[in-house]
Amino acid sequence: MMERLKNTDWFYLSLMLLVVSLPFSAGMISVAAVLLFIVSLFRISQNNFRNKLAAGRNLLIFASVFLVYLFGLLICRDWKWGLYDLQKNIPFLMIPLAFVFGPQLSARKSKKLLLIFALAVVLSALSAVVLFYGSTRLSVLEAQELGFVHHIRFSFQVILSILILSIPLILAYSEMSLREKFLRLGGGLFLVLFLFWHQSLTGIISFLGTAFAGGVLLLFQINGRVQRMLLGMSLMLLILIPSVYLAYAINRFYDLDPLDPTSLEDRTSLGNPYTHHLENPQLENGHYVGLYWCEQEMEKAWNQRAEIKYNEPDQHGYQIKETLVRYLTSKNLRKDAAGVSQLTSEDIRNIEAGISNHILARKGLSLYPRIYVSIWEVDNYLKTGYANARSLALRMEYSKAAWHIIRDHFWFGVGTGNWKAAFDDAYHQLGSQMEPEWYSSAHNQYLNYWVKFGLVGLLLILSLIIFPVVKTKAYRNSVFLLFLVSMFLANFADSNLETHVGGHFFVFVYCLFVASENI
């Protein structure tokens, strides 16, 4: 028994635990990463320590990203946030060292790890779908709340899994059994559909950009004229179709009702006066939210039909009257007794659930609700400056503050841990309407690096990431190259490498491909 335990490959089992944890549990990710590091230390001996350091020098270069944060502490004024920065970036130190000190992985084991990871992602995605349709959720936009890890980070895992399943299918199709072809194709198609159903715009944009990059790579590898022409047309469509759809969504949003203040009716059907808030710039489906208000009728009619009363909060914490007004407008109904009477029982449930527009109450595969919300957020933000609790509008505020800080700390940044005070000051100086509870750093990894370490630090970190890839020629692996493309694009929309799940995920995949041979 003891001999069997001694001969067990605990390093490989720790890696298996990590890949299974990534799409399922943020807590287990930490456990697996620590276990992986501890197990790797037991593989060190006095005789092989220097050899391992020499063999793993490329990963040590990559691990130096953590040292940038350490050097940034030299000018740290807020040690609470400085230590927080170090804690978030521990994966950049711990996982590369584990791969340096641990045993060399064979190509077979590395490929098996990737397939186990893809299977775990498929099961996690399938679980989210089952949980959603088995729940009382009324909008597919709420599906993101049922995932096991943050939906943006999970979308990147989905993209990598699609690459793991699809690229070997393309490159080695003739060598695969019918069963393997079926499983890879079925799993890949399911994940593509899931990605669009799950509605993470960051993930979708990253996927489309990665697919385009993959198509360009393939274009240089195929020789047939007809095949190259068909692929070229497909790439053009990959750009054209999303662009046309986005233009359609924007035009649909701004297909406004004609507005003539002199022709607006001033009485409801019950004879009560209307109030027209012409100064209100908000729109819902091209209809003006501020027109045709009779609050006394609206409140009475609503309270007679609904369980959650007019001044009580909906399931998202907003007062019912705020949600009701937007929902009525979205259906081109007036804010009076007649308008409320035309709501169906399903509409009532939607409003009580916090759904502010009838088009958002969809449970099928439709990307329009997510695009609509994003357009609405930007439109409302540009008109009012209000960004609280609105994802895209918040990102615009964060980026504006980041550039404000960069202007004064262009070359060397504010230092590790000092970003919190720098952003707080920037919001005050810019006169932001955000509540302090929504203050945050830039949801853009490159801007975050620039704020903390300046342009010098940003370029240094990018060099520490890119150099080992070039040195080891790991970029020749199509899966890894396209994974890097997907993360490069995604990091414009979020600071993924400084999140718990995102950091562990990126560093693990990076180390696996750089350290392993011939995956």
Q: Quote the distance between the C-alpha of residue 264 and its chain's center.
A: 44
pLDDT tens-digit map of 333-386? 999 999 999 999 999 999 999 999 999 987 777 889 999 999 999 999 999 998
Question: Counting beta carbons within 10 angstroms of the beta carbon of residue 263, is it exposed (0 to 12), middle (13 to 18) or buried (19 or more)?
Answer: exposed
Average pLDDT of the chain, as a whole number: 93
Q: How far apart are CA 242 and CA 484, in angstroms?
A: 22
Q: Which of 381, 443, 504 is nearest to 201 (CA)?
A: 443
pLDDT tens-digit map of 47-86? 688 888 888 999 999 999 999 999 999 999 999 999 999 9
pLDDT of residue 24: 97
**Domain count along the chain:** 1
Are 496 and 506 a contacting pair, CB within 8 Å? yes
pLDDT of residue 1: 46
Residue 43 within any structural domain of the chain: no
pLDDT classification of 220: cutoffs 50, 70, 90: confident
pLDDT of residue 125: 97
Token reading at 461: 């970190």
pTM of the shown model = 0.93
Q: Which of 337, 356, 336, 345 is nearest to 306 (CA)?
A: 345
CA distances from 273 to 297, 300, 394 (A): 10, 15, 38
pLDDT of residue 173: 85
What is the pLDDT averaged over residues 104-123? 96
Rounded to 5°, the CA angle 136-137-141 comes to 170
pLDDT of residue 26: 95
Are 287 and 329 a contacting pair, CB within 8 Å? yes
3-state secondary structure of 236: helix
pLDDT classification of 5: cutoffs 50, 70, 90: very low
pLDDT of residue 238: 94
pLDDT tens-digit map of 47-57? 688 888 888 99
Token reading at 50: 């220097």
Determine what percent of the chain falls in helix, strand and coil, rounding each to the nearest 5.
70, 0, 30
pLDDT of residue 44: 85
pLDDT tens-digit map of 418-434? 999 999 999 999 999 99
CA distances from 76 to 84, 93, 369 (A): 12, 20, 44
3-state secondary structure of 335: strand
pLDDT of residue 8: 66
426-461: string of b/e by CB count within 10 Å (b at 16+)? bbeeeebebeeebbbbbbbbbbbbbbbbbeebbebb
Q: How far apart are CA 397 and CA 440, in angstroms?
A: 9
pLDDT of residue 364: 76
pLDDT tops 90 at residue 216: yes
Residues near 202 by Cβ (< 8 Å), separated by ≥ 6? 152, 155, 490, 493, 494
Are 466 and 472 a contacting pair, CB within 8 Å? no
Residue 347 within any structural domain of the chain: yes
Residue type at 163 in one-letter notation: L
pLDDT of residue 55: 84
Are 102 and 11 a contacting pair, CB within 8 Å? yes
pLDDT classification of 396: cutoffs 50, 70, 90: very high
Are 344 and 280 a contacting pair, CB within 8 Å? no
pLDDT of residue 46: 62
Residue 308 within any structural domain of the chain: yes
Q: What percent of the chain has pLDDT over 70?
A: 98
pLDDT classification of 225: cutoffs 50, 70, 90: confident
DSSP per-residue string spanning 424-462: HHHHHHHT----GGG----S-HHHHHHHHHHHHHHHHHH
pLDDT tops 80 at residue 6: no
Q: Which is more confident, 220 or 149? A: 149
pLDDT of residue 221: 85
Q: How far apart are CA 484 and CA 491, in angstroms?
A: 10
Residues near 183 by Cβ (< 8 Å), separated by ≥ 6? none
Residue 441 within any structural domain of the chain: no
Residue 339 within any structural domain of the chain: yes
Are 77 and 414 a contacting pair, CB within 8 Å? no
What is the pLDDT averaged over residues 16-36? 97
Residue 411 within any structural domain of the chain: no
DSSP per-residue string spanning 276-290: --TT---EETTEETT
What is the pLDDT averaged over residues 457-466? 98
Are 89 and 465 a contacting pair, CB within 8 Å? no
pLDDT tops 60 at residue 3: no
What is the pLDDT averaged over residues 195-217? 95
pLDDT classification of 494: cutoffs 50, 70, 90: very high
Q: Which is more confident, 171 or 268? A: 268
Q: What percent of the chain has pLDDT over 90?
A: 83
Give residue 326's domain range.
261-360
Q: How far apart are CA 150 and CA 23, in angstroms?
A: 9
DSSP code for 260: -
Token reading at 317: 């914490």
pLDDT tops 70 at residue 227: yes
pLDDT of residue 2: 46
Residue 104 within any structural domain of the chain: no
Residue 223 within any structural domain of the chain: no
